[in-house]
């Protein structure tokens, strides 16, 4: 028990605060002077003992008698409940010395209700009614009700995400309705009682209710605790698994052709007669070693998957055409791979072409920090041709080498888990999900929990179109049947209990619905400082797009220079051109800001940014960009101030009050005027004075606002030169978050 206020304890004891204060003084607690003063738990106990009477006390005996007498039997009570009128639902505290009398009470009640106790709450009820034979007419009766328990609010609470309005209400002891109203009126957030709130809003509510809320993030895996229990993590159970590879690169540089070439040569080699199935990925085996290639090349698909939280790719093969060299999307692909921290192997393709210039490609890539191993760099390079098949074997060797370096391991004896690559409804097979197993082994008949859906792996089909009974780590497989269509990027887990899978899937569905309302809060210049201060941000990631290469370079340097010892500014991607969907995807997946210099965002990109909550800032002056980021890092970014006219008020009379000054008798012509309005006195279209209101009254009462069509009296602070016919313009300064546009 924490400290208790005098007023709360007095209420609990059913006595007046002053009586309790007197008792405190008697007991030497002379510092207690006011009903808002607080008592320690020991002091509370001591005082409670003093006021608590034993059953032998005469007053208490009487109370018991009264209670006994007015006990209403359950049946009668139920009948009475139906007849309670609204006004009788008031809760009354009966004073100790008052006698409770009933209208037309029965003789038994008359005898026993001379004195009402002092310590309990009573509810006045109307009972009976015309149908009562003995006591016709309505009677009034007091029945005891439970006293509301006043919960002491803690000054610091720990809450685990996701946090709903209901959670805050019960944790802070504040009515949910009050919170909902506050969110709507003060924060413009529409919330239901089960609404999951963003962390920012939770913290804000904490501040406003004077409670420090520590938010504990629930790990996604905790949701699957019961699955994790079955998982072995022993080193001796681990085996090397095949790397999962994605091809990235500029348009037409040969990504698809290379994939086709591998499929034709290697798949045919390994599985005679197998027909390649497009199930999102395919596994290739040569000399007993495997590599898994994802079917969808390109950095958009790669980053979109990552934005959904699924980092499936272990290694990126960057395809650069030997004749074309490094092109804009080559750079983009490099930056997408780097932002995902995925290692890159470079395939210089189309070497069969006479115009091929591999040396130039190596030089260009070296300038982008991808230095070939033969030049003492760290990036493996291979020269390939999708037409002749040259270099494919070397590419495989490099991929295996990379998987050994990365120590890609899995535990085949574990229950399977992985990621959905694609899912659809198939005639005859029901819901089909093409997945990649990242760990464990999937068996036919396994129960699967997959995002918001669940089911049994009734039919397993591999990438060669063969029905299989089981498949291990790093294998693409097509599974049916699920309760619903999962989404690409959803994680799946094999679980032991279908009922539990159903429950979790349902719970996730509900949570997702609500979480989508509490938009994920990406980094913005407005929240940057608080995020830094909270220790949530150690790095500001930026995607930079500008009109010329020169501007990109200058801005890059200027932004890099903003890095401090605590906060690093990292340019994830910079390029010439407008802001594209791919930039927004990258920002979404990496929690980055997008900065545009003399460029705008494509409409699709702008809409996607709005949907994902990614901030795009557009500038025309380099100094503005660097200065704003610096200011935001230092928490100095002032919101833009906008003047909003509230209404116009005409002065119709002037009253001079000595010692006080001139009071204007007014009529609100349009809009409204509020007590906190700023005001301008306008005479013949000229602003005579700009200042504040000192008072705003209707008749003699101070009011908060007066609307159009009503009269009021007002006094302008520190200004007396008012005349009949003057116009008072009421306005306010609204602070709005700054968004700069070109």
Ligand X SMILES: Nc1nc2c(ncn2[C@@H]2O[C@H](COP(=O)(O)OP(=O)(O)OP(=O)(O)O)[C@@H](O)[C@H]2O)c(=O)[nH]1
Q: Which residues are annotated as a binding site?
A: 249-256, 295-299, 349-352
- Is the Cβ of residue 251 or residue 533 nearer to ligand X in the bound state? 251
Nearer to ligand X, 109 or 364 (CB): 364
The answer to whether residue 254 forms part of the interface with ligand X (CB under 6 A) is yes
Q: How far is the CB of 352 from ligand X (least distance, A)?
A: 5
Cβ-based burial of 631 (10 A; exposed 0-12, middle 13-18, buried ≥19)? middle
Q: Which residues contact 630 (CB under 8 A, 6 or more apart)?
A: 562
DSSP letter string over 464-492? TS-EESEE-SSEEEEEEEESSPPPTT-EE
**Residue 447 corresponds to which tokens in the numbers above?**
């129960």
281-320 mask for ligand X (x: CB under 6 A)? ----------------xx----------------------
Which range touches ligand X (CB under 6 A), out of 251-259, 477-485, 490-498, 734-742?
251-259
Of 427, 429, 435, nearest to 488 (Cα)? 435
User: Residue 347 or 666: which CB sits closer to ligand X?
Assistant: 347
Count Cβ atoms within 10 A of the Cβ of residue 134 and give its class: 0-12 exposed, 13-18 middle, 19 or more buried. Answer: exposed
User: What character string, x for contact with ligand X (CB under 6 A) and - otherwise, covers 197-236?
Assistant: ----------------------------------------
In angstroms, give the least distance from the CB of 277 to ligand X.
Answer: 20
| Choice between 106 and 388, CB closer to ligand X | 388
In the range 150-189, which residues lie near ligand X by CB under 6 A?
A: none
Q: How far is Cα 4 from Cα 13, in angstroms, rounded to an integer?
A: 13
In the region spanning residues 42 to 101, those forming contacts with ligand X, defined by CB under 6 A, are none
For 359, counting Cβ atoms within 10 Å of its Cβ (0-12 exposed, 13-18 middle, 19+ buried), the class is: exposed
Shortest reach from residue 203's CB to ligand X, in Å? 45
Structure token pair of residue 348: 């210089």
User: CA neighbours within 13 Å on the CB side: how many for 50?
Assistant: 17
Q: How far is the CB of 372 from ligand X (least distance, A)?
A: 19
- C-beta of 295: minimal distance to ligand X in Å? 11
CB of 269 to ligand X, least distance (A): 20
Question: Measured from the CB of residue 323, what is the shortest distance to ligand X in angstroms?
Answer: 8
> 10 Å Cβ neighbour count for 335?
22
Report the distance separating Cα 507 and Cα 261, nearest Å: 45
Looking at 239, 251, 368, 698, which residue binds ligand X (CB under 6 A)? 251
Whichever of 250 and 308 has its CB closer to ligand X, that residue is 250
Taking contact as CB under 6 A, which single stretch among the options 95-103, 252-260, 436-444, 621-629 is the one that binds ligand X?
A: 252-260
- Taking the least distance from each CB to ligand X, the nearer of 248 and 504 is 248
CB closer to ligand X out of 259 and 485: 259
Nearest-approach distance from CB 589 to ligand X, in angstroms = 20
* 715 strand-pairing partners: 695
Q: Torsions phi, psi of 397, nearest 5?
A: -60, -45
Instruction: Return binding residues for GTP.
Output: 249-256, 295-299, 349-352
Q: Evaluate whether 35 touches 7 at the Cβ level (below 8 Å).
A: yes
Please identify, using beta-carbon distances, which residue of 504 and 585 lies nearer to ligand X. Answer: 585
255 near ligand X, judged by CB under 6 A: yes
Binding marks (x or -) toward ligand X, 369..388, rule CB under 6 A?
----------------xxx-
Select from 119, 125, 141, 253 the one that contacts ligand X (CB under 6 A). 253
Quote the distance between the C-alpha of residue 580 and its chain's center.
Answer: 25
* Beta carbon of residue 330, minimum distance to ligand X (angstroms, whole number): 11
Interface with ligand X in residues 332-371 (CB under 6 A): 349-350, 352-353
Q: Does 330 bind ligand X (CB under 6 A)?
A: no
> In whole angstroms, what is the distance from residue 175 CA to residue 193 CA?
10
Edge-to-edge strands of the sheet including 344-349?
Answer: 281-286, 289-294, 244-249, 315-321, 344-349, 381-383
Among 140, 144, 223, 252, binds ligand X (CB under 6 A): 252
Least separation, in Å, of the C-beta of 322 and ligand X? 8
Backbone angles phi, psi at 210, to 5 degrees: 65, 35
Does position 453 interact with ligand X (CB under 6 A)? The reply is no
Output the DSSP codes for 220-265.
GGGGGHHHHTT----GGG-EE---EEEEEESTTSSHHHHHHHHIII
- Candidate list 195, 257, 335, 441; residue touching ligand X; CB under 6 A: 257
- Decide the pairing of beta strands 244-249 and 289-294: parallel
Instruction: Tell me how crowded residue 225 is: count the other CB atoms within 10 A of its CB.
Output: 9
> CB-wise, 257 or 480, nearer to ligand X?
257
Ramachandran sector of residue 387 (left: φ over 0; alpha: ψ -120 to 50; beta: rest) = alpha
Residue closer to ligand X (CB basis): 257 or 453: 257
Nearer to ligand X, 127 or 370 (CB): 370
CB of 564 closer than 8 Å to CB of 577: no
Min dist CB 251 to ligand X, Å, is 4
Q: Tell how many helices (H) and how many strands (E) occur in the chain.
A: 22, 38
* Whole-number Cα distances in Å, 723 to 204, 352, 645, 654, 665: 46, 92, 22, 7, 10
Radius of gyration of the chain (CA): 37
Residue 261 C-beta: closest distance to ligand X, Å = 8
With contacts defined by CB under 6 A, how many residues of the chain interact with ligand X? Answer: 17
- Which is nearer to ligand X, 319 or 679 (by Cβ)? 319
The label of the residue with tokens 């738990």 reads 41
325 binds ligand X (CB under 6 A): no
When the beta carbons of 267 and 646 are compared against ligand X, the nearer one is: 267
Least separation in angstroms between residue 250's CB and ligand X is 7
Subset of residues 605 to 664 that bind ligand X, contact rule: CB under 6 A: none
Question: How far apart are the C-alpha atoms of 426 and 434, rounded to whole Å?
Answer: 12
Residue nearest to ligand X as judged by C-beta position? 254
> In angstroms, what is the minimal distance from the CB of 336 to ligand X?
14
Pick between residue 252 and residue 602 the one whose CB is nearest to ligand X.
252
Query: Distances in Å between the alpha carbon of 738 and those of 32, 341, 521, 645?
Result: 50, 33, 17, 20
Q: Which residues bind ligand X (CB under 6 A)?
A: 249, 251-257, 297-298, 349-350, 352-353, 385-387
């Amino acid at each position: 028990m924490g400290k208790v206020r005098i007023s709360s304890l007095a209420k609990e004891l059913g006595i007046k605060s002053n009586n309790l204060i007197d008792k405190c003084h008697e007991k030497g607690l002379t510092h207690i002077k006011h009903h808002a003063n607080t008592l320690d738990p020991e002091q509370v106990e001591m005082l409670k003992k003093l006021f608590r009477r034993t059953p032998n006390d005469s007053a208490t005996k009487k109370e018991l008698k009264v209670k006994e007498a007015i006990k209403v039997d359950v049946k009668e009570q139920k009948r009475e409940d139906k007849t309670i009128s609204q006004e009788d639902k008031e809760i009354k505290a009966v004073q100790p010395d008052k006698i409770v009398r009933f209208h037309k009470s029965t003789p038994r009640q008359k005898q026993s209700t001379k004195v009402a106790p002092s310590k309990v709450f009573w509810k006045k009820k109307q009972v009976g009614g015309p149908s009562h034979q003995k006591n016709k007419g309505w009677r009034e009766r007091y029945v005891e009700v439970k006293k509301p328990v006043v919960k002491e609010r803690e000054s610091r609470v720990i809450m685990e995400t996701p946090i709903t309005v209901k959670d805050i209400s019960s944790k802070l002891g504040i009515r949910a309705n009050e919170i909902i109203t506050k969110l709507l009126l003060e924060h413009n957030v529409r919330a239901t009682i089960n609404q999951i709130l963003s962390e920012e809003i939770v913290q804000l509510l904490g501040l406003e209710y004077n409670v420090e809320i520590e938010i504990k993030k629930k790990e996604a895996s905790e949701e699957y605790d019961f699955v994790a229990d079955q998982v072995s993590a022993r080193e001796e159970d681990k085996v090397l698994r095949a790397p999962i590879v994605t091809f990235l690169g500029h348009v037409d540089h040969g990504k698809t052709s290379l994939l086709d070439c591998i499929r034709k040569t290697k798949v045919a080699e390994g599985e005679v007669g197998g027909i390649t199935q497009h199930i999102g990925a395919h596994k290739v085996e040569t000399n007993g070693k495997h590599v898994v290639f994802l079917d969808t090349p390109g950095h958009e698909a790669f980053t979109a998957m990552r934005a959904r939280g699924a980092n499936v790719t272990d290694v990126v093969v960057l395809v650069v055409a030997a004749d074309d060299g490094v092109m804009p999307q080559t750079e983009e692909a490099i930056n997408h791979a780097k932002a995902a921290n995925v290692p890159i192997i470079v395939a210089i393709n189309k070497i069969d072409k006479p115009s091929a210039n591999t040396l130039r490609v190596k030089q260009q890539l070296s300038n982008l920090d991808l230095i070939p191993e033969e030049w003492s760099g760290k990036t493996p390079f291979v020269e390939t041709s999708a037409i002749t098949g040259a270099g494919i074997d070397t590419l495989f060797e490099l991929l295996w080498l990379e998987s050994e370096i990365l120590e890609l391991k899995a535990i085949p004896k574990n229950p399977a888990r992985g990621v959905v690559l694609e899912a659809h409804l198939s005639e005859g097979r029901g819901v089909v999900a093409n997945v990649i197993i990242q760990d464990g082994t999937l068996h036919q008949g396994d129960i699967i929990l997959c995002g918001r859906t669940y089911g049994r792996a009734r039919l397993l089909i591999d990438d060669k179109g063969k029905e299989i009974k089981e498949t291990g780590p790093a294998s693409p497989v097509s599974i049916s049947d699920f309760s619903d269509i999962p989404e690409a990027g959803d994680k799946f887990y094999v679980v032991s209990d279908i009922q539990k899978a159903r429950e979790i899937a349902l719970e996730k569905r509900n949570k997702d619905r609500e979480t989508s309302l509490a938009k994920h809060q990406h980094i913005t210049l407005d929240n940057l400082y608080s995020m830094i201060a909270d220790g949530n941000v150690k790095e500001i990631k930026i995607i930079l797009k500008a009109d010329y290469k020169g501007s990109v370079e200058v801005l890059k340097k200027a932004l890099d220079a903003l890095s401090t010892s605590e906060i690093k500014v990292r340019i994830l991607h910079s390029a010439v051109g407008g802001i594209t969907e791919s930039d927004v995807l990258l920002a979404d997946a990496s929690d980055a800001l997008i900065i545009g210099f003399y460029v705008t965002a494509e409409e699709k990109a702008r809409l996607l940014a709005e949907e994902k909550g990614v901030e795009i800032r557009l500038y025309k002056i380099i100094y503005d960009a660097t200065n704003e980021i610096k200011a935001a890092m230092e928490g100095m970014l002032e919101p833009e101030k906008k003047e909003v006219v509230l209404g116009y008020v005409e002065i119709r009379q002037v009253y001079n009050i000595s010692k006080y000054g001139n009071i204007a008798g007014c009529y609100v012509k349009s809009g409204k005027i509020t007590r906190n309005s700023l005001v301008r006195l306008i005479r013949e279209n000229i602003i005579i004075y700009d200042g504040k209101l000192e008072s705003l009254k209707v008749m003699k009462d101070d009011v908060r606002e007066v609307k159009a069509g009503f009269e009021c009296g007002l006094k302008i602070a520190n200004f007396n030169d008012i005349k009949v016919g003057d116009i008072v313009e009421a306005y306010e300064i609204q602070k709005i978050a700054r968004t700069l546009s070109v």
